[in-house]
Amino acid sequence: MSNKLLTYLKSENYQQKVKPEIYRLLAVIVFTTIYGIGVAWFLEASVVPLYTGGIPGIAQLIRDAVYVWMGIDLGHNFLGLFVILANIPILILGWFGVSHRFTIHSIISVLLQAFIISWIPYVNMGLSSPEHALAAAVLGGLLIGVGGGGALRYGTSTGGLDIVAQYFSFKKGKSVGFISMIMNVSIAIMGGLIVGGRATPGGEVIAGGVIASYTVIRIIISTVMTDRMHTAYHFLSVDIITNHPQELVDQILVKVYRGVTLMKVEGAYSHHEKTLIYVVISSYELHTLVNLVRRVDPQAFIVTKPVKQVFGNFKRKTIA
């Protein structure tokens, strides 16, 4: 039985299909947990109202607006329930406009995210006084950016406006972090206008400018981390110097599905003739390409360079 298992684990079907899906599922769980902790343990713990992005941020805004305008406390469970219900039409957009697997992983993330935010007890990080608002904004923003960007990097998302941003990023080739920032700055400004100068559920009266400023700090940090971790729509040119060009080209055309250019090159020291394979990829494909090259030619020399823009026949693929 163990030999059969080892054989299967080494098989192409497992390596190419099953293993990446396991990684994506683990990425959903790990990065959604990081995201949820950033929201629940840091932003929600702050006495200064700090808003996360996307659907949870809208839920925070609605909850606080109802309290300051109508005096009604919607309760702690409101955030989780709103996250689940509001994501339904967005997940439909993801299903038809991005990718089925991307959306399935996003559904798992949305449910886990709602559970962490509303139904897991908070851990007191000691950030419940006004002077700790900056620390809450910075640390919360860091975790939210790592969680959201990390999920996108592995072909998943934390749901909500990430899916909308992913949709427009796929269609227009724009930065996911930039698109999300535009959406989320609006939440910060509205939070400052609605809640500023009024008593919050925590009983504090905070100026609108303070609320908006700290939330913008959170957004900037999250945006930087998202773009650092998520590179699906940034491009790379890759030079591969190899002694096995034909086998590598065949593998790249089938497994990565990118066109390649071949050039004959000569080593200055050895004077041995080799082949340089030039290919442009979306940078999330680099891991697949490098593993492919190492499997075919462990001695290959690989150089990558960032590419600002690509024109011509270059297919932008869904990430999952």
Question: Lowest mean pLDDT: which of 71-80, 99-108, 148-157, 292-301?
Answer: 148-157
pLDDT number for residue 170: 64
Q: Is 180 a residue whose pLDDT tops 70?
A: no
d(CA 236, CA 286): 8
Mean pLDDT value of segment 180-187: 78
Let me know if residue 316 belongs to a domain: no
pLDDT number for residue 317: 60
Let me know if residue 185 belongs to a domain: yes
Show the tokens assigned to 306. Answer: 């960032």
Q: Is 99 a residue whose pLDDT tops 60?
A: yes
Let me know if residue 320 belongs to a domain: no
Token pair 């996003």: residue: 106
Q: How confident is the model at residue 179 (pLDDT cuts 50, 70, 90)?
A: low
The per-residue pLDDT for range 205-246, each reduced to its tens digit, is: 788 888 888 998 998 898 888 777 766 557 889 999 999 999
Same domain, 298 and 199: no
H or E, element range at 111: helix 100-119
Show the tokens assigned to 312. Answer: 């011509």
Closest CA to 245 of 211, 273, 215, 280: 273
Mean pLDDT value of segment 132-155: 87
Q: How confident is the model at residue 35 (pLDDT cuts 50, 70, 90)?
A: very high
- Report the 10 Å Cβ neighbour count for 247: 12
* Packing angle, helices 176-195 and 54-70, rounded to 10: 10
Give the domain range for residue 258.
235-307
Same domain, 169 and 56: yes
Show the tokens assigned to 168. Answer: 């427009």
Q: Is 87 a residue whose pLDDT tops 70?
A: yes
Mean pLDDT value of segment 90-94: 85
Q: How far lies 265's CA from each of 69, 239, 245, 262, 292, in Å?
A: 72, 12, 12, 10, 21
Same domain, 26 and 110: yes
* CB-based contacts of 128, cutoff 8 Å, min separation 6: 45, 46, 47
Same domain, 252 and 302: yes
* Higher local confidence (pLDDT), 257 or 174: 257
